[in-house]
Chain A
Amino acid sequence: MDGVHDMGGMHGFGKVEPEPNEPVFHSDWEGRTLAITRAMSYTGVWTIDQTRAGIEQLPPDVYLTSSYYKKWELRLERLVVAMGLAGADEIKAGHALRPGKTLKRKLAAIEVPNTLTRGSFARPAAAPARFKPGDRVRTKNIHPQTHTRLPRYARDKVGVIEALRGCHVFPDTVAIGKGEDPQWLYTVLFDGRELWGENAEPTLKVSIEAFEPYLEPA
């Protein structure tokens, strides 16, 4: 989806403003929003890629003007309603008005330390990897309206395969409920000038992590 979330290379957002001694959360509701999201993900009702797609589908003006955890909160409300887990009327009322669905599992406090580890996205491969380190590749010129992890600034560009990172769940299909369809993942390295033209910083190289369907031989 060519949305405002795909920010690489955009102009006009101003300076980066680091905050000295930044707290982990700036308000209690931020921590609760993060934790509720984690606990709901644990039940298995959605995947990480569906949650990313959920943020990207926020209206652009909302995306750009909401703080990070406000975006998480808005996404959580949308996902919960979209998946039929609760009604908008219940969220408005602040209480359940109907019984809940039966979910696969529920996170207990005692299990929390075990959930701080990232899940594994590696999967067995259906076929050998098409490319090897050193190969020149061109990223495809694709503009799906659905979720993808190929950023706009790195489409239709020539780069070099630097490393093979294993075979992983393919975000583009799993985000739209079409299955994990595991794909080989590569680190692809681009010269700054290939991405940004002749005036690019001459010492710059940028890499992306690219799934095999994003690539063709160059």
Chain B
Amino acid sequence: MAHDHDDDHHEHGSELSEMQLRVRALETVLAEKGYIDPSAIDAIIEAYETKVGPHIGARVVARAWSDPAFRRALLDDGSKAVMTLGLLNRVGDHLIAVENTPKLHNMIVCTLCSCYPWEVLGLPPVWYKSAPYRSRAVNDPRGVLADFGVKLPSSTDIRVWDSTAETRFIVLPMRPAGTEGWSEDKLASLVTRDSMIGTGLPKQAREAA
């Protein structure tokens, strides 16, 4: 709902400072108790700010677009296939890649909480965790797509995957037209985060970086 959004984006100064104080108090207590090491806290934050993010998923998609054998392996066993790219130390189990086609569009949601493929897309955006998305994705996906400025043909089947367990999903979007012979780097520059969640489409060839 709109209120939730406001809280996330334009916090009142009072809440911000209250939260800073609360978190600092909690961290201090847990560190003094010997449960956590503040330098590990810094390292986790740094990893999510600089190392893990949708650039990893974009490499996976670009490879699948370029290499038919990899595409088949990815659709067959996402975790195993992503491991072979050497982008990550290890990939958790049960990463499932689902492929868009001219007849079928896939969209990922977690209606119960915020399950999301962190290892390949990083931390989820605020909208993915918000009530509007979690409530509407499963019964009004075309309305949700319209909120993102995406309109699909009325004949396209829409498949929504609700991530209700420890399986994780990534959408393999369709390769944009006019990209024949492109390098994987250049293809990866077309792959947006939202295109791998199913709320967006890849950039078109003329928008390439």
Which residues from chain A sit less than 8 Å from chain B, CB to CB?
5-19, 22, 24-29, 31-36, 38-40, 43, 52, 55, 64-68, 70, 73, 76-77, 80, 85-86, 90-96, 99-101, 103, 106-109, 111-122, 149-151, 153-154, 165-166, 168-169, 171, 185, 187, 192, 195-196, 200-201, 203-211
Q: Which residues of A contact B28 (CB under 8 A)?
A: 94-96
A29 and B164 contacting across the interface, CB-CB below 8 Å: no
| Residue B69 CB within 8 A of the other chain | no
Contact of A28 among B20, B51, B114, B127 (CB under 8 A): B20
| Residue B177 CB within 8 A of the other chain | no
Q: Which residues of B contact A68 (CB under 8 A)?
A: 8, 114, 126, 129
B47 and A13 contacting across the interface, CB-CB below 8 Å: no
B166 and A109 contacting across the interface, CB-CB below 8 Å: no
Given the interface pairs A12-B1, A36-B30, A205-B157, the reply to whether A7 lies near B164 with Cβ below 8 Å is no
Contact of B94 among A17, A27, A165, A207 (CB under 8 A): A165
Q: Which residue of A lies closest to B147 (CB)?
A: A16
A-B pairs under 8 A by CB, number: 304
A7 and B162 contacting across the interface, CB-CB below 8 Å: no
Q: Which residues of B contact A85 (CB under 8 A)?
A: 30, 33, 35
Q: Which residues of A contact B52 (CB under 8 A)?
A: 116
Give the distance in Å from the alpha carbon of A36 to the alpha carbon of B24 in the complex.
11
Q: Ordered nearest first, which 9 A-B pairs have the shortest CB separation?
A: A118-B92, A100-B33, A8-B111, A209-B165, A96-B32, A35-B44, A94-B25, A112-B43, A31-B45
Show 16 A/B contacts (Cβ-Cβ < 8 Å), sorted by A.
A10-B131, A29-B19, A64-B1, A70-B19, A94-B25, A96-B29, A96-B33, A107-B40, A109-B40, A113-B47, A115-B44, A116-B118, A119-B92, A121-B93, A206-B138, A207-B161
From residue B87, how far is it (CB to closest CB) to chain A in Å?
Answer: 12
Q: Which residues of B contact A80 (CB under 8 A)?
A: 26, 30
